[in-house]
Amino acid sequence: MTQEAQGKGTATPPTLWDRTRQLASREILDTALRLFTEQGYDETTIAQIAREAGVSQRTLFRYFGTKEDLIGTSQDRFVAVLTDTVREQPDDADPWDVLRAAFQAALAVNETRAQALQRFRLVHRTDSLRAAYLGKRVRFQEELLPLLEARLTPSGAADRGQARAIVATAFACFDAATATWLEGDGEGDILDLYDEGLAAVRRP
């Protein structure tokens, strides 16, 4: 977890309370991912996760607002990672490079490659989670659209169609890269596969 900076470049060390919360959150998440993988997402209950993680259901929901959040991160946080990364890119950066940086930041939410593999497998193999992801993806694209549009048309001339096409293409290539990565049992790098797919789409 990124520590907040205090003053000029001085990081505030995490307190004992912070470390305790981080450990508890990680234990709950690891337990949930294990149970989801072993017996299925829909078949696993919040009560079971809480019991095996050694916490109450009330405590679990303080760390994770919904059962779906246990697959990864909350939708609001994920949107923030994408949009904040886009805003942080240089003004003259290529739009495709900007979106690639956003995907890279989103992937970094996973602590390990194994954790990422677990999460993506669950989403792709569970109908309810896959449907939820497709709905979220619409929101992700709509959140990024005005940011990319502003980069394409700094003068204020509207070019939403072009921005929407770029964002949609980037997400389609990312989804294709993820599917290929899963088929290869997590071999290679998702961003390398993304680059290959995007190069194929953009080839003259």
Query: Residue 177 and residue 190: Cα distance in Å, rounded?
Result: 6
- Residues with Cβ within 8 Å of residue 91, at least 6 apart in sequence: 151, 154
DSSP 42: T
Query: Residue 73 and residue 77: Cα distance in Å, rounded?
Result: 7
The CATH homologous superfamily of the domain defined by 73-202: Tetracycline Repressor, domain 2 (1.10.357.10)
Residue 144: which of 115, 105, 111 has the closest Cα?
A: 105
Higher-pLDDT residue of 120 and 12 is 120
Q: What is the CA radius of gyration of the chain?
A: 19
Each residue of 141-193: pLDDT tens digit? 999 999 999 888 765 555 788 899 999 999 999 999 999 999 999 999 999 99
Q: What is the pTM of this model?
A: 0.79
Extents of the domains making up the chain: 14-70, 73-202
Strongest mean pLDDT among 53-67, 81-95, 100-114: 81-95
CATH topology of domain 14-70: Arc Repressor Mutant, subunit A (1.10.10)
